[in-house]
Structure 1
Amino acid sequence: MGKRKSSQACLRGEWKEVSTRSVKLPEIDSESFSTYLQWLYTNEVVVSDEDITDEHIVKARYGERLPVFQRHFAAFFKLAILADKLGNARLANAVVDRIILVARVVRLGPSACNIATVYSQLPESSPVRSLVVAYYATEVKAEFMTKHKEQFPYQFIFDLMVHSKKREEEKTSNTPSYPGERCRYHQHNEKVPNV
């Protein structure tokens, strides 16, 4: 199992959590966990009372709406990190779907700061990492990336370059790769089949 204990494994075997019947997750903030619990009951990813897809928010001036959108993206990514730590593919997929919906409606994507969080806390194999790369490859102008080049993680820039090269080689420029088929960014296992 390596260095990380899964939450289910902690409640079996010889771990101390077996006797206390509790699993501590100090690296998970209470807001993300609260959102996770709400998702368990409602099957909806809601990170704030404010619906950022509301028309008046979408049409607000760029400077006013940008901080609101980036707070939402930050919350989505924290939830994706929680899903990864819990090994919950259904939650991870729900977060991906919400990110795609919001990015499509508000026509803005995650900031360089939010991408740095994704890259520092999610594994290389994470579909969320692939999603932000695909978004930037197709939706973000070079001018923006040049202006903020110091803020992007090196690995993100490398992944973006590889993604762009693969698109060129596969000659898929006619078909949008972002979001493309959303299942491309989902996780699948025996509990969450590819349907």
Structure 2
Amino acid sequence: MATELVDIRVSATERIDLEGEPVKIIVGDSTKRIYHVYEGVLRNKLAFFEVALKTEWKEGTQRIVKLPEEEPNVFCDFMQWLYTGRVPCIESLYHVEHEGYMQLVKLWLLADHLIVANLQESLVNAIVAASREPFADRYPSAAVVEIVYQRTAVGSRLRKLMLDMYTRHVDIDWHIDNLNHEFAIDLLKALASNRTTTDEAEPEFSQLFKGVPCRYHVHYDNKPCDGGADKA
């Protein structure tokens, strides 16, 4: 059987500059982790570092970039993507409710900070793919939604994704007591705007608009409903 020929060549314009000293990136605040990355790798993919490493700035002259507000383990996942184009999944997609979704969401937030749109797009695709797994918990946990709403602004595409996932998969057995308040309001509005109002689809609600609203009456001793007629 013939082996498929794989061409690994790239054009000269795609070549990454690996010459010179690497840039020192310090990630985290109380718990710091240091990464050394060739400047060419950073400049090749990331406009954020293109600006940060300008020679007229302190970071550019010292070749040190500090990211104190980011988590080292999240940046480690980012480095994996930077060098391989892929993100290692820390948990099986069959159990993605919290840890798996949290990993993807935190990495999306880091990519948002570093202005890496193509990574954000790939992570959205990964989140949607996880929700389609046949045996997975289909929606992100309240903790995942909380961090999304804490670290994004109104109109964020990631907020919209969380909202659409909950609106589509809402279930009576969900434990949603700890949902972010702002998200809960958005969810209520979304459910209301997507509500089916036809009697055929929701016959139990038809008594609100026609006939006797028997379902809201109190029936003692299993006596048949009299429709609330005045017996006086």
Asked if these proteins are the same fold (TM beyond 0.5), I'd say yes
Which runs of no fewer than 5 residues in structure 1 stay unpaired?
1-5, 59-64, 170-195
Aligned residues: percent identity?
30
Contact 1:45/1:98, CA 8 A, preserved across alignment: no
Which runs of no fewer than 5 residues in structure 2 stay unpaired?
1-47, 197-232
* 1:14 CA drift (Å): 4.4
* 1:47 CA drift (Å): 3.2
Q: Match of 2:149, as an amino acid? A: Y
Contact 1:36/1:79, CA 8 A, preserved across alignment: yes
TM-score of the superposed pair, with normalisation by structure 2: 0.57
Alignment match, 2:33: none
1:30-41 → structure 2 map (5 Å cutoff): 30-41=72-83
Instruction: Select the structure with the greater relative contact order (CA < 8 A; seq sep ≥ 6).
Output: 1
> 2:42 aligned with 1:15, yes or no?
no
Q: Which has the larger radius of gyration?
A: 2
Contact 1:77/1:118, CA 8 A, preserved across alignment: yes
Tell me the SS of whatever aligns to 1:46: coil
Counterpart among 185, 190, 194 of residue 158 in structure 1: 185
Counterpart among 113, 125, 134 of residue 155 in structure 2: 125
Alignment match, 2:214: none
* 1:155 CA drift (Å): 1.3
1:99-178 → structure 2 map (5 Å cutoff): 99-105=127-133, 106-144=136-174, 147-149=175-177, 151-168=178-195
Alignment match, 1:75: 103
TM-score of the superposed pair, with normalisation by structure 1: 0.66
1:7-27 Cα shifts (integer Å, max 9, x gaps): 433222743212112211112
CA distance in 1 between counterparts of 2:89 and 2:66 reads: 22
Tell me the SS of whatever aligns to 1:141: coil
Deviation above 6 Å: which 4+ runs of structure 1?
none
Equivalent pairs, count = 147
* 1:127 CA drift (Å): 1.2
